[in-house]
Structure 1
Amino acid sequence: MAALTSEQLDELQSFIKDWLRHSGRTQSDLRRALRASSIRMPVLLDELDRTYRRDGLVGLAERLCDIEAVWQSEDQGGGAVADASPAVEDSLGQLDLLLEEIRLEVGDG
């Protein structure tokens, strides 16, 4: 699969920054979750682009949802995501909606 375009990378960067801010996480947290070599945004985006090239848009969204689920589990002391705070549930809901929207677009395309 082709790499993300520069416009898509810009949009992904904006999304990642908003997501990290909303979830109270840092680029360092994302680096650990992605097992990337650096916390620099270009390195993080490159890792996400590799996921996109390998697994497509659905795979990219699923990876971000998986990271969110791990973070939620950590925030709850290893507890279930179902016990999450309303802000956390909103964040998960937004990622789930994004994944559902992507799946619909991929199915239509």
Structure 2
Amino acid sequence: MSSLTSDQLEDLQAFLKDWLRHTGRTQADLRRALHAASIRMPVLLEVLQRTYSRQGLPGLAEQLCGVEELWHREDGAAEGGDAPLPGLDASLGQLDLLLQEIRQEQQP
């Protein structure tokens, strides 16, 4: 597969920052979820770049959906139930819709 362009990396970085802010998470949370070596944004982007290189855009979207699901489970366990954080269901739905659109575009 190919690599993300510099414009795509900038867009991904902006998306990640907005996503983290919206979900109340930090780069440290994302580092743990991605098993990255550092919380620095270039390192986090490198992990996602490797996923994109191996699996394309559908793989990248799946990885981010997996991170969102992990956080949702962690929050449910911490609260002693399955009550989502405000806005979490909406962001999960948006990522799922994005993944569906990507998969439809990838079909021959």
| TM-score (normalised: structure 2) | 0.91
Question: Counterpart of 2:44?
Answer: 44
Give the aligned CA root-mean-square deviation in angstroms: 1.6
Residue correspondence of structure 1 range 27-106 to structure 2 within 5 A: 27-77=27-77, 83-106=83-106
Provide the C-alpha distance between the structure 1 equivalents of 2:95 and 2:81, rounded to a whole number of angstroms.
Answer: 17
Query: Using a 3 Å threshold, how does the CA distance of structure 1 residues 107 and 80 change in structure 2: closer, same or farther?
Result: farther
How far residue 84 of structure 1 moved from its aligned partner, in angstroms, is 2.3
Q: CA deviation at 1:100?
A: 1.1
Q: Deviations over 1:2-38 (max 9, x none)?
A: 1111011011111111111111100000011111111
Structure 2 residues not aligned, in runs of 5+: none
1:85 to 1:27, Cα distance in 2 relative to 1, 3 A? closer
2: distance between equivalents of 1:75 and 1:45? 24
Deviations 1:47-104 (A, max 9, x none): 00000001111011001000100000111116776x4245111010111111111112
In the comparison of the two structures, how many residue pairs are matched? Answer: 107
CA distance in 2, matches of 1:46, 1:80: 34
Q: Is the deviation greater in 62-71 or in 83-92?
A: 83-92
Work out the CA distance in 2 between the residues paired with 1:80 and 1:63: 24
TM-score by length of 1: 0.90
* Structure-2 separation of matches of 1:36 and 1:86: 27
Amino acid in the other structure paired with 1:24: G
Tell me, in whole angstroms, the C-alpha distance in 1 between the residues paired with 2:68 and 2:81.
13
Determine if contact 1:73/1:80 at 8 Å carries over to the other structure. no
- Asked if the contact 2:75–2:85 (Cα under 8 Å) also holds between the matched residues in 1, the reply is no
Identity %: 62
Higher deviation after alignment, 96-105 or 26-35: 96-105
Q: Which runs of 5+ in 1 are unaligned?
A: none
